[in-house]
Amino acid sequence: MAIIKFSGTPIEKLIETVSQGIGILYEPKRIRKKADAEAYRLEKLEEAKAKGLILKSDAEFEIIERAKERFAHREINRQINLESIVEKSTKHLGESVSEEPVDDDWRTRFFAKAQDVTNEEMQEIWGKILAEEVTQPGKISFRTLEVISNISRAEATLFTKACKLALNDGMILKINSDSAFDKYGINYTDLLILRSAGLIYDSDTLNVTIRGIEPIGGALLPFGKKLILCKKENTKDYKFNQIKFTPSGAELMKTIDSDKNDTFINDFINEYTKKGYEFQYLNK
């Protein structure tokens, strides 16, 4: 296979990382059409023969043939899954990347788990995770890889809804004492599902204290691209009830593209304005 040369450090680092992870020189879209997949299948069948699958009887012949077919089918699907994930990751690479290499153990775990991801939406998330780690190694923990490997498509959809309500550091501030957000598409059962998935902490009574910044006389609430200044007279520490993302949830949130729910933050501002707080958008 001819070596394909690319210009640009990010894509070169991605190719190096993938090649080391899957044990072959990676070429984007390596399996391009049915004929290529068939050639790959035959290659795996020969691999199976070389591993000592010797025929001894007609019955054994049938069993071995089925085993070889199953092995080849599984490996073809895994390779196609990885190709799809890597292809998706390329569009999420930054203009520059750290010179630090991706950790060997992280790379091994990533490809071992990613190879069986067939859903296209989940592949998109895995592609973003790969791009994040190639860009800045150490950004995605082993724990997060484990958590996301056990998340279903439905759970990922629920989590995306939750991300729309969260501050940038992984907190959903409660508007009142309710422990659900039905108006915004997240009910209490949904929260239980996200807790079981390891994405939010298992508690309804968490609160957060945000220290005010003296020069600006208030606390900052980063909500997507918006930066909100929260102020209250004679207040240094701002305490709010919250739903808190776990470290894995907070890491995963950064890989999910989700527009923030403006209705939610406006309702939060309106409710706390009644309690004597003042809010100001520092940007739009």
Model confidence pLDDT, tens digit, residues 221-247: 999 999 999 999 989 999 999 999 999
Q: Can you give the pLDDT at residue 213? A: 92
116-151 tens-digit pLDDT: 999 999 999 999 999 999 999 999 999 999 999 999
3-class state of residue 280 by DSSP: strand
Report the share of the chain in percent with pLDDT over 90. Answer: 59
Count Cβ neighbours within 10 Å for each residue of 227-258 and write b for 16 or more, e otherwise.
Answer: ebbbbbeeeeebebbbbbbbebbbbbbebeee
Ranges assigned E (strand) in 146-192: 171-173
Give the residue-averaged pLDDT of 80-106: 89
Residues 13-37: pLDDT tens digits? 787 787 777 656 555 554 444 456 5
Q: Which of 255, 269, 262, 264 lies closest to 284, judged by CA?
A: 262
Q: Is the confidence at residue 153, as pLDDT, over 80? A: yes
Average pLDDT over residues 35-41: 59
- Cβ contact 144:252 at 8 Å: yes
Residue the block writes with tokens 């609160």: 207
Please write down the long-range contacts of 217-222, taking CB distance under 8 Å and 24 or more positions apart: 218/278, 220/282, 221/167, 221/173, 222/167, 222/168, 222/169
Cβ(165)–Cβ(264) below 8 Å: yes
Share of the chain above pLDDT 70, in %: 83
Is residue 173 over pLDDT 70? Answer: yes
Q: In the chain, what is the straight-line distance between the N-terminal and C-terminal CA atoms, in Å?
A: 51
pLDDT at 20: 73
Question: Does residue 249 have a pLDDT over 50?
Answer: yes
**Most confident residue range from 30-39, 161-170, 250-259:** 161-170
Q: Which of 63-72, 110-119, 152-161 has the lowest mean pLDDT?
A: 63-72
Taking Cα atoms as reference points, which of 214, 201, 219 lies closest to residue 272? 219
Tokens linked to 215: 């020069």
Q: Looking at per-residue confidence, does 74 or 239 come out higher?
A: 239
